[in-house]
């Protein structure tokens, strides 16, 4: 898929923008000063496929905690800081890999220039994150998408005037159309990498639908270098949803389960089976596994899969590349799928 050409920005060992893959990120909901809990959550996020993580820094204690957190994690860490440039300096001192900070909120050109110099020296980028909820008062009479872009422009200008260009930008709204319009407008004018997300999207199902509606049109147009699926849920769910979205759009090579929607012909407990196979495939790449409810249509409908199962009353059939290879007792379904995952993984590793 063609991607909009953006400049590359380094965040720790991760490159965002340019021709790089779309990076999945999330944010901790632990107290940052609770080092143990934060490390635990970041490692769980990494395990789920998170590549970049953000923590909120409210005070010096949070900023100092970054030093200890960094010792226990493997993915780049971004500190989310509002207003206080001294907190930014403390986070940098503690070894943070990136800042999320709007320079317009610092309010003093000299301080911004000083911060920019320190960041340049340490090769640390800034994400400018504008949000419809915190726009400058004088922009509130513009249409919301224009207001987001205009606000981002102001923050960018401040950094560019300080000679700083390692910038990533996000323009977020809880309204899908506004988020999409703002990102489209921005990407026509700037080549800074874009972080996409629909903010305050809501609880699990609604949040996933809203984010998918907001992110898909952009990602399909090649816009967006990093994403967060904001959910009012465990952040690990954000990462899983992000991976599934990228997979659905052909933007990663995660394995996937194709499962039929079930109907009166369904012979096996398909929901349970498909969910379990999905878990079995977690962390594998490039496999397509079909889990179908009946033999009548299942094999044909699942022919694009590497392999699959089509359920029967007591016995089910296993098929590979659309051809039936075996009939097995239903009690052996998971053993058989496990063996096939191992076989195909080994084949893929040889290629």
Residues that bind ligand SF4 (CB under 6 A): 260-263, 265-266, 292-294, 296-298, 301
| Strand, helix or coil for residue 292 | strand
For ligand SF4, give the closer residue by CB, 152 or 295.
Answer: 295
For ligand SF4, give the closer residue by CB, 131 or 330.
Answer: 330
- Give the residue among 18, 22, 23, 20 at the shortest CA–CA distance from 6: 18
Min. distance of Cβ 273 from ligand SF4 in angstroms?
12
Distance (Å, whole) CA 268 – CA 311: 6
**Helices 176-189 + 204-220 axis angle, to 10:** 30
Distance (Å, whole) CA 56 – CA 41: 14
Min. distance of Cβ 279 from ligand SF4 in angstroms?
21
What are the distances in angstroms from CA 204 to CA 8, 31, 201? 32, 22, 9
Which two structure tokens, joined as six digits, stand for 308? 């699959």
Which two structure tokens, joined as six digits, stand for 18? 């340019």
Min. distance of Cβ 258 from ligand SF4 in angstroms?
10
Query: Shortest Cβ contact with ligand SF4: which residue?
Result: 293
- Give the residue among 242, 187, 252 at the shortest CA–CA distance from 211: 242
For ligand SF4, give the closer residue by CB, 92 or 318.
Answer: 318
Min. distance of Cβ 317 from ligand SF4 in angstroms?
12
Distance (Å, whole) CA 185 – CA 146: 8
For ligand SF4, give the closer residue by CB, 178 or 316.
Answer: 316
For ligand SF4, give the closer residue by CB, 28 or 305.
Answer: 305
Min. distance of Cβ 304 from ligand SF4 in angstroms?
14
């Amino acid at each position: 898929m063609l991607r909009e050409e953006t400049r590359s920005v380094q965040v720790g060992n991760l490159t965002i923008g340019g021709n790089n893959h779309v990076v999945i990120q999330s944010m901790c909901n632990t107290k940052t000063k609770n080092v143990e809990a934060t490390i635990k959550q970041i490692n769980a996020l990494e395990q789920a496929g998170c590549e970049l993580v953000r923590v909120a820094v409210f005070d010096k204690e949070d900023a100092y905690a970054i030093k200890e957190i960094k010792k226990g994690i493997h993915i780049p860490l971004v500190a989310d800081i509002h207003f206080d440039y001294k907190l930014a300096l403390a986070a940098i001192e503690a070894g943070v890999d990136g800042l999320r900070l709007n320079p317009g909120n610092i309010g003093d050109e000299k301080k911004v220039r000083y911060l920019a110099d320190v960041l340049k020296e340490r090769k640390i980028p800034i994400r400018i994150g504008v949000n419809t909820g915190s726009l400058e008062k004088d922009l509130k009479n513009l249409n919301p998408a224009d207001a987001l872009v205009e606000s981002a422009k102001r923050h960018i200008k401040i950094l560019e005037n300080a000679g700083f260009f390692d910038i990533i930008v996000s323009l977020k709204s809880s309204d899908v159309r506004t988020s999409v319009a703002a990102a489209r407008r921005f990407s026509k004018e700037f080549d800074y990498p874009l972080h996409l997300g629909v903010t305050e999207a809501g609880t699990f199902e609604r949040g996933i639908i809203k984010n998918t509606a907001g992110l898909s049109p952009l990602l399909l147009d090649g816009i967006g270098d990093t994403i967060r699926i904001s959910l009012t849920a465990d952040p690990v769910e954000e990462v899983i949803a992000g991976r599934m979205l990228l997979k659905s759009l052909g933007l990663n090579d995660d394995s996937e389960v194709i499962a039929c929607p079930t109907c009166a012909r369904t012979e096996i407990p398909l929901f349970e089976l498909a969910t379990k196979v999905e878990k079995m495939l977690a962390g594998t790449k490039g496999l397509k596994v079909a889990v179908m409810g009946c033999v009548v249509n299942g094999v044909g409908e699942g022919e694009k899969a590497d392999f699959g199962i089509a359920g029967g009353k007591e016995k089910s059939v296993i098929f590979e590349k659309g051809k039936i290879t075996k009939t097995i007792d239903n009690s052996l379904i998971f053993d058989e799928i496990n063996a096939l995952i191992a076989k195909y993984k080994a084949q893929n590793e040889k290629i």
